Structure 1
Amino acid sequence: MADATMPDLEPHGGEEHTQSIGSRLNWLRAGVLGANDGIVSTAGIVIGVAAATTNRGAILTAGVAGLAAGAMSMASGEYVSVSTQRDTEQALLAKERRELHEMPDEELAELTAIYEGKGLSAELAREVAVQLTHHDALGAHAEAELGIDPNELTNPWHAAWASMISFTCGALLPLLAILITPVTARVPVTAVAVVVALSLTGWASAALGDAPRWPAVVRNILGGLVAMGVTYAVGRLVGPHV
């Protein structure tokens, strides 16, 4: 009878595959957002400078400087942020290990209560907690109590490199668009290229999150147009006085 009522507690390949896909989707979303930042910030810089001067060297210098600064800022920001998250996760896991060692009965009762709260009967919740604790006590408690997988902690270096690379790829589009276009068409051609790119990143970010596509695309485009409009206005206003 116990075999008929007990859930299968062993990990399934399908579940591991789903977790792996979820992890990859998180990185893909981060990459799309990094590329989006690179597109918008670099477009704003080069369009602002182009509004102030037609000097290709000045535009190139400003664009490359903005690309480098933005990529390093994204990388360092992600590294610091994810390192802090990882430190917190490790501290919580260390605390959980200590509690499992010092008060195993209390921890077992806590895990049982968690599964009771999810709808299992008291008897079944106790049996689930016992089996999970026997199989992997830290993993069971970390997942149920903290929402942490001890084997899947965030990696700050991965986050830093992903952000740097995606930002750089996004930033190259407006920079190249404005440099290879004739002077009279620089701003409109770059703006069109940015709108197309933002449409793609907005669509991709929504698709990866299984969210409505068009609202994300419209928000992305409007944000980019506002950023370019503001920096263009600043360039036109400040440029003649420099």
Structure 2
Amino acid sequence: MDRHLEHGHHPREIARRLKTGPKASYLRDWVYGGIDGTVTTFAIMAGVVGASLSASIVIILGVANLLADGFSMAAANYTGTKAEHDEYEQLRRMEERHVSLAPEGEREEVRQIFQAKGFEGEALETAVAVITEERGRWIDTMMTEEHGMPAVTRSPMRAALVTFVAFVLCGAIPLIPYTFMLSEPVLPSVVMTGLTFFAIGSFRSYWSPAPWWRAGLETFAIGMLAAGVAYGVGYLLRGLVPA
């Protein structure tokens, strides 16, 4: 069992850590963009190889995919993250209105929330009084406890940028052997792509309870399965396009 401590517990360390507050994580944006970029670019390569087309087509389609699909994913992530912001703001305005128009009802909501957590008697009433004596703290509590909203929100622009960069960097790896005009670029591309899948999964395990090798193998299997499907489609349709 892993028994190390991720951070210190001296009172000064605790106070400094709590003062800075939680930070938004963009890990999912990086993993999402990296995996999708590698899968789609490698799938294009596998499909072209399965169809027995020329290496130049791999480069043309691969680069076009990196820029177009990478931008599309970034734009979609921006829109989705912006929608999360809009939902948060709408709920917060609703809670502000409810606190102003029906404060006793909102206090009862706080009371029942903390009662469900095990508070009772004087401790429960003290908790309700402390939370509701300051408007911002009151609304923050309702946002997290009643609506399940996160304490921090991600920046839509930063989420989109992280997704695009990860997509382009990881998605370019299957194309590297083709850009060097190797006589047999397929095997190096497969090996480099497989290592990229494994590296992305291993990196993800740093924030996951799963062992690094298991997370790496899981991502590797998913990516190679997608590439295998693309290769099979390209092989079946190889006669439709001249090499």
* Structure 1 segments unaligned to the other structure (5+ residues): 1-10
1:177 aligns with 2:203: no
Alpha-carbon distance in structure 1 between the residues aligned to 2:19 and 2:132: 19
Give the Cα separation in 1 of the matches to 2:218 and 2:37.
16
Other-structure match for 1:19: 22
TM-score (norm 2): 0.83
Q: Does 1:148 align with 2:149?
A: yes
2:146 partner SS = helix
Give the distance between the partners of 2:227 and 2:150, measured in 1 at CA. 42
User: Which 4+ residue blocks in structure 1 deviate beyond 6 angstroms?
Assistant: none
Residues in 1 aligned to 2:111 and 2:118: alpha-carbon distance in whole angstroms: 11
Greater displacement, 45-54 / 133-142: 45-54
Q: Any conservation in 2 of the 1:29–1:208 contact (CA below 8 Å)?
A: no
CA drift at 1:87: 1.5
Preserved contact between residue 35 and residue 223 of structure 2 (Cα < 8 Å): no
**2:112 counterpart letter in structure 1:** A
Aligned to 2:119, the other structure's residue is in SS state: coil
Q: Deviation at 1:12?
A: 4.5
- Structure 2 CA distance for aligned equivalents of residues 176 and 89 of structure 1: 43
State the match for 2:38 in structure 1: 39
Instruction: Decide which structure has greater helix share.
Output: 1
Cα distance change on mapping 1:16 and 1:239 into 2, 3 Å: farther
Q: For 1:121-180, what per-residue CA distance to the aligned partner results, in whole angstroms no more than 9, with x for missing partners?
A: 232122112112223222222222223357x33332222111111111111111223332
The yes-or-no answer on 1:211 pairing with 2:187 is no
The 5-angstrom pairing of residues 15-164 of structure 1 reads 15-17=18-20, 19-20=22-23, 23-24=24-25, 27-53=26-52, 55-135=54-134, 136-148=137-149, 152-164=152-164
> How far apart are 1:63 and its partner, in Å?
0.5
**1:18–1:216 distance in 2 versus 1, CA, 3 Å:** farther
Distance 1:98 1:149 in 2: 20
State how far apart, in whole Å, the 2-side matches of 1:226 and 1:116 are. 49
Any conservation in 2 of the 1:41–1:171 contact (CA below 8 Å)?
A: yes
CA contact (8 A) 1:48 1:231 kept: yes
CA shift digits 1:30-67 (9 cap, x unpaired): 21231111111101112322343563432211101111
CA distance in 2, matches of 1:160, 1:204: 20
Percent identity between matched residues is 25
Residues 117 and 13 of structure 1: CA distance in aligned 2, closer, same or farther (over 3 Å): farther
Normalising by structure 1, report the TM-score. Answer: 0.83
Distance 2:179 2:104 in 1: 68
Where do 5+ consecutive residues of structure 2 fail to align? Answer: 1-13
Q: For this pair of structures, how many residues does the alignment match?
A: 226
